[in-house]
Amino acid sequence: MWNHLFEQYEMPKFLPDDACRSISTLFSENSVAPHVTEKMLGQTMRGVMAVYNKLYWIKE
């Protein structure tokens, strides 16, 4: 599949991490708070946020 896309459209290989990076950037451009972006991408909170903040941020 990748060979076909590269040969026909000169599209470089696109990995899942590339999609996460693109989504995270788009969220930031649209003023989505970083902790909400982390939750939406399935990442875990770190530091104090992980210990004390147990909200799921569904509304946001």
- Our count of domains for the chain comes to 1
5 part of a folded domain: no
- Residue 29 confidence (pLDDT): 94
55 part of a folded domain: yes
1 part of a folded domain: no
33 part of a folded domain: yes
3 part of a folded domain: no
2-45 pLDDT tens trace: 777 778 887 777 777 888 888 899 999 999 988 888 888 887 76
- Residue 30 confidence (pLDDT): 94
Whether residue 54 has pLDDT greater than 70: no
45 part of a folded domain: yes
How many angstroms separate the CA atoms of 10 and 24, rounded? 25
- Residue 8 confidence (pLDDT): 82
Domain range enclosing 54: 13-60
Residue 52 Cα distances to 24, 34, 55, angstroms: 24, 17, 9
